Amino acid sequence: MTTSRLPGFYNLSINERLARLAEAAGLSPDDLSAFRFEGGIDADAANHMIENVVGIHGLPLGIGLNFMVNGRDVLVPMTIEEPSVVAGASFMAKLARAGGGFRASTTEPLMIGQMQVLDIANLQKAQAAILNKKAELIAEADQIDPVLKKFGGGARDLEVRLIEDSPIGEFLVVHLIYDVRDAMGANAVNTACEKLAPHIEQITGGRVHLRILSNLADRRLARAECTIPVDELAFNARDGSETRPYTGEQVRDGVIEAWAFAAADPYRAATHNKGIMNGVDAVVIATGNDWRAIEAGAHAYAARSGRYTSLSTWGKDEYGNLAGSLEMPMAVGTIGGATKVHPGAKAALKLMGVKTAAELAEIIVSVGLAQNLAALRALATEGIQRGHMSLHARQVAIAAGATGDMIEKVAAQMVAEKTIRIDRAEEILKSPGNR
């Protein structure tokens, strides 16, 4: 039985946290041993993953607490270098929990493969010819990956698009719609497109140029919703010795106003969506998935109307509670890519107890929504810097050369002075009594 409520987790040592985590997730400590390696992977394994390997780049791995997704508690591994993200997600997951947690769903895992068809004499005729052979082409593509087919995946549809306005004039694009089940699907789709291309050339008399998946995976969406009881949003902001109380209604309305800004303005939407991706990418990276693919899909989807906008929406429900939703493409896998060769990624999937790519996508989009709320709540009330300051101050203190107890001492002084700069940290370190 897993619980994601681990009070006092932040006070434990790393070893104690690992033990507590294994216990809470119903796993043996060995299941999570990969988290102890630098970067969750050793040099031998890394050497097989990419070219010219000389080392391993580590990033912190933290645990998002309090998450409940579709009625199930889940402990969320998050890999990220930025302070406040894990704490922000965990705090908002706690608020969402009071409203029943996150309700999440996915579409079928349909990826799009693109084939660019050039040098066609009559585009309309070629388009009709391809559509005429659609069933045959789908049947052919369906046979290409027998393993995928065995697991219920395969070719589902074929569409032909006419690109009228391009620097090289008109051409056709064939979209192969492929169900990739629990894979991210890039290799599966690229292979299918490459194998199908000669047949497309034969039908059209043209030349198939590019054969590659689209990262605008708008047929493979994940969606999360949450309701935060308005009373849960009330809090007292502290600024030095002063306290400023916020009512739940004030915070709720402030969040909705902040969202409206992102909905209407691309300059704000870029930063708003970046905040969502703080949470999304952290889980995508921890599970060995391709975060560039997720980033590309997210931003392309955010611009689908022709104007870049917010990926999330916030409003109030009929009872005055804060209601949020997030919908975005989510091409993640639990099979293939690095997910099965990176020991840390395998341990991350085990910790969450996910078996399918859909379950993983549902958790990721829930974390994105939680992260979005953390940023909006801070921005709409006390500002983003207060939460960031103490962690940021610690990093600046370390950069200035502080070690041991001096890290906390220098950081605390800079926070009290509201001056968090490396030159000030160096001065404090050099001041009498600190040397």
**Closest to ligand NAD by CB, 190 or 250:** 190
State which residue, 83 or 336, has the beta carbon closest to ligand NAD: 336
Identify whether 82 is a catalytic site residue: yes
Which burial class, exposed, middle or buried, applies to 312 when counting CB atoms under 10 A from its CB (0-12, 13-18, 19+)?
buried
Which is catalytic among the residues 31, 82, 218, 249? 82
Residue closest to 109 by CA, chosen among 300, 363, 358, 340: 358
Looking at residue 81, what DSSP letter applies? S
350 is catalytic: no
One of 157, 388, 408, 426 is an active-site residue; which one?
A: 388
* Minimum distance, C-beta of residue 338 to ligand NAD, in the bound complex (Å): 6
**Which of 73, 145, 281, 290 is an active site residue?**
290
Active-site hit among 274, 316, 350, 409: 274
Looking at beta carbons only, is 185 or 279 nearer to ligand NAD? 185
Which residues lie near ligand NAD (CB under 6 A)? 145, 147-148, 151, 153, 180-188, 190, 213, 215, 290, 293, 333, 335-338
CB of 312 to ligand NAD, least distance (A): 23
Q: Which is nearer to ligand NAD, 174 or 293 (CB)?
A: 293
Question: Which pairs with CB-CB distance under 8 Å and at least 24 residues apart come from 347-350?
Answer: 347/31, 347/32, 347/33, 347/34, 347/35, 347/40, 347/77, 348/40, 348/61, 348/77, 348/286, 348/287, 348/288, 349/287, 350/27, 350/31, 350/32
Tell me which amino acid residue 276 is. I
In the bound complex, what is the minimum distance in angstroms from residue 344's beta carbon to ligand NAD? 15
Considering the complex, what minimum distance in angstroms separates the CB of residue 74 from ligand NAD?
21
From CA 386, how far away is CA 371, in angstroms rounded? 16
Whether 119 is catalytic? no
182 catalytically annotated: no
SS3 5: coil
Q: How far is the CB of 193 from ligand NAD (least distance, A)?
A: 11
Residue 358 in 3-state DSSP?
A: helix
Measured from the CB atom, the residue of 282 and 338 that comes closer to ligand NAD is 338
Contacts of 115 (CB under 8 A, 6+ apart): 173, 174, 176, 193, 196, 197, 200, 208, 210, 211
Nearest residue to ligand NAD by CB is 336
The residues that are catalytic are 82, 274, 290, 388
